Structure 1
Amino acid sequence: MDLAALVASRVCHDIISPVGAITNGLEVLDEEGSEDMREFAMDLIRKSARQASAKLQFARLAFGAAGSAGAEIDLGDAQVVATGFMENEKSNLNWQLERHLMPKNFVKLLLNLILIANQCVPRGGEIKVEMSGTPQSPSFTLNAAGLNPRIPLGMKETLSGEEPERVDAHSVQPIYSLLLARECGMELTIDKDEDCVKITALPTE
């Protein structure tokens, strides 16, 4: 129950900002009479609505049920939602995966690893996503390169399976990623060199 509540908090945290901006834009439309302000408000509403939609579509695939047990997801659809999400972030997404049908938990794990990679380049950069193996037994490699990349505090320990000191809406996402990896029979690693953070998800067998 706590995991579900914390994941829900994480999703709500992500969409509060664009939804709040839509509300602000509507208030400007109600109060302002000038054409310039009305056009500004409409631009704000359009942009924020696109952001909210992209974040919700991403969250639905990354955290949601995504079909029945044993369901497969088109990696092309995953690329679309990941690209839409990253359009609102500072980093660019370099998606190197071919289009396949893949078991849903692998896709959910991959999207969650993109979220982790994005946290590693807070000033922006490039997140390169690659896969080897087969859709039924993949290995994922993500390289997050940018200015002063970093591994968030506690992230390395959490992904390696250590119990985090504190569990909240911010730390729940790597915990959820670890649980997904275990469900997929995969092991996660995260390491950093001077200008890049590398994340891998490899089969345990």
Structure 2
Amino acid sequence: MTKDMTRDIAAMIGSRICHDLISPVGAISNGVELLGMSSQDTGPELSLIADSVDNANARVKFFRIAFGMASPGQMTGRQEMVSILNALSTKRLTYVWQPEADMLRTEVKLACLMMMCVETALPRGGVINIQNEEGQWSICARADRLEPSPDLWARLGAPATSDGLKPSEVQFILAPLQAELLERRIAIQTDDGSLRLTA
């Protein structure tokens, strides 16, 4: 089996899982909304459930872009990304999507995978700023505490095997594969309080 076949199968599995989860999560969200409309006293419990459902819905949509299929010419809207990242943002970790235009899905897929890599270096949270200028992605994280793992970051320069990786670190295989597909290479820059991935 070739590398391209393996990548396509992985993307198909990602798309299938996310597709099957979108509907039930959406149904729960609708149910919570109806409960809120029919009850005078929603209480903190219902608010907690609603927040959790909104986060789960956004995360499934994010994973669908990051791990799913990206057909040639398929676009992802700016408003869709802003909506997803706003829903994922918390007091601890905030995402800022800067691109003003809709983008090719293959491009946004790379950005999402790079974001997931950056997240692993923010144990106490921070701000992740996503920019695209003249076709180049820049994912910049700022935080009081940054802990990039040298072993993981070393994988971003070129596609590598999964040896030694945990399932939660699969983005460190997929990001360089997606960059290679787009004829890019991921570069890393670190400074006091900031970390930047470009591709």
TM-score if structure 2 supplies the norm length? Answer: 0.72
1:127-158 residue CA offsets vs partner (Å, 9 max, x unmatched): 1222211xxxx101121111121213422111
Give the deviation of 1:77 after TM superposition.
Answer: 1.9
Please point out which of 59, 62, 68 is paired with 2:66: 62
Work out the CA distance in 2 between the residues paired with 1:79 and 1:132. Answer: 17
Would the aligned equivalents of 1:90 and 1:122 in 2 still touch at CA under 8 Å? no
- Give secondary structure in 1 for the equivalent of 2:167: coil
- In structure 2, the partner of 1:97 is 99
Give the deviation of 1:177 after TM superposition.
Answer: 0.9
Would the aligned equivalents of 1:159 and 1:178 in 2 still touch at CA under 8 Å? yes
Equivalenced residues, count: 172
* Structure 1 residues 59 and 48: CA distance shift in structure 2, 3 A: same
Work out the CA distance in 2 between the residues paired with 1:139 and 1:61. Answer: 18
Would the aligned equivalents of 2:81 and 2:97 in 1 still touch at CA under 8 Å? no
- In structure 2, the partner of 1:48 is 52
Would the aligned equivalents of 1:150 and 1:192 in 2 still touch at CA under 8 Å? no
Q: Residue 106 of structure 1 aligns to which amino acid in structure 2?
A: E
Give the deviation of 1:186 after TM superposition.
Answer: 0.8
The alignment status of 1:106 with 2:107, answered yes or no, reads yes
* Structure 1 residues 113 and 83: CA distance shift in structure 2, 3 A: farther
Identity over aligned pairs, percent: 25
Please point out which of 169, 172, 179 is paired with 2:170: 172
Would the aligned equivalents of 1:72 and 1:103 in 2 still touch at CA under 8 Å? yes
* Structure 1 residues 164 and 61: CA distance shift in structure 2, 3 A: closer
1:91-146 residue CA offsets vs partner (Å, 9 max, x unmatched): 22232221x2322111111112122222222212211222211xxxx101121111
Residue ranges of structure 2 left out of the alignment (5+ in a row)? 1-5, 29-40
Please point out which of 30, 40, 43 is paired with 1:39: 43
1:1-205 pair list within 5 angstroms: 4=10, 39-66=43-70, 68-85=71-88, 87-88=89-90, 90-98=92-100, 100-133=101-134, 138-161=135-158, 162-163=160-161, 165-201=163-199
Structure 1 runs (4+) greater than 4 angstroms displaced: none
Work out the CA distance in 2 between the residues paired with 1:56 and 1:166. Answer: 26
Would the aligned equivalents of 2:125 and 2:143 in 1 still touch at CA under 8 Å? yes
* Structure 1 residues 73 and 40: CA distance shift in structure 2, 3 A: closer
TM-score if structure 1 supplies the norm length? Answer: 0.70
Give the aligned CA root-mean-square deviation in angstroms. Answer: 3.1
1:46-90 residue CA offsets vs partner (Å, 9 max, x unmatched): 121111111111112222225x333222233223222322x2472
The structure whose residues are more often strand, as a share, is: 1
Would the aligned equivalents of 1:157 and 1:164 in 2 still touch at CA under 8 Å? no
